[in-house]
Amino acid sequence: MKLTEQDLVIKAKAGDYRAFEELVYAYDRRVLATVYRFTGDPDDAKDLYQDIFIRAFKGLKKFEFKSSFSTWLYRIAVNVCLTHKAKAGKRNYESLDDPYPDSEDSKTEQYEDKSGSLSPEKSLLGSETQAVVRKAVDSLSPRLKMVFVMKHYDGLKIKEIAEMLETKEGTVKKYLFEAVHILRGRLAGYLEN
């Protein structure tokens, strides 16, 4: 009989490595996809993926079923991604006055497009368009980007994202609208075409 996720977590908490491995297999592709979409770099994605599961492995004993295992795991993934970006903070996130807005009260990120709209005439079509889109997404601040990736690429509901970010749904909506607003500005030329 196939074990349920809860059974696997209980076994893994008790030190059953095989059970933990099964949990890894259940979610690792999704986690890898998220971190890869977030970082855009395969080596970074591999490092973050490993970091996430090692943290999960070490922290499993503290998991108390207050949320689903997947939410708990994604919460680790989000923290690892955001911490990674914070560490790599040498990069300039355009339009950032407050790089880590944490609450409803935090300052709204600036909308203006300091890099200027990307001119389609200067780029080729196809893969170059993809590169331009990726660059535009990559230029979002870490939290806006995280929310955007989770919503647009991973297809999560706002409620789920809020749970993973441990914030309010309203905050997630705000981030999402801001991200979309910024992207619309940066990709204006492509959208018109």
Give contact residues for another protein (rule: CB under 8 A): 15, 17-18, 20-21, 24, 28-29, 32-33, 36-37, 40, 42, 45-46, 49-50, 53-54, 57-58, 129-131, 133-134, 137, 151-153, 157-158, 173, 176-177, 180, 183-184, 187, 190-191
- Residue 147 CA to residue 149 CA, distance in Å, equals 6
Tell me how far the alpha carbon of residue 84 is from its chain's centroid: 11
Nearer to another protein, 68 or 129 (CB): 129
Residue keyed to tokens 């809020």:
162
Nearer to another protein, 56 or 78 (CB): 56
Nearer to another protein, 108 or 130 (CB): 130
Crossing angle (nearest 10°) for helices 127-138 and 169-186: 130
Nearer to another protein, 17 or 100 (CB): 17
Minimal distance, residue 188 CB to another protein, in Å? 10
**What is the sign, positive or negative, of the torsion defined by CA atoms of 79, 82, 87, 88?**
positive
Nearer to another protein, 116 or 126 (CB): 126
Among residues 28, 95, 180, 176, the alpha carbon closest in space to that of 36 is found at 28
Minimal distance, residue 110 CB to another protein, in Å? 19
Minimal distance, residue 152 CB to another protein, in Å? 6
CB distance 101 to 165 below 8 Å: no
CB distance 171 to 100 below 8 Å: no
Instruction: Quote the tokens at residue 177.
Output: 């609208």
Minimal distance, residue 183 CB to another protein, in Å? 6
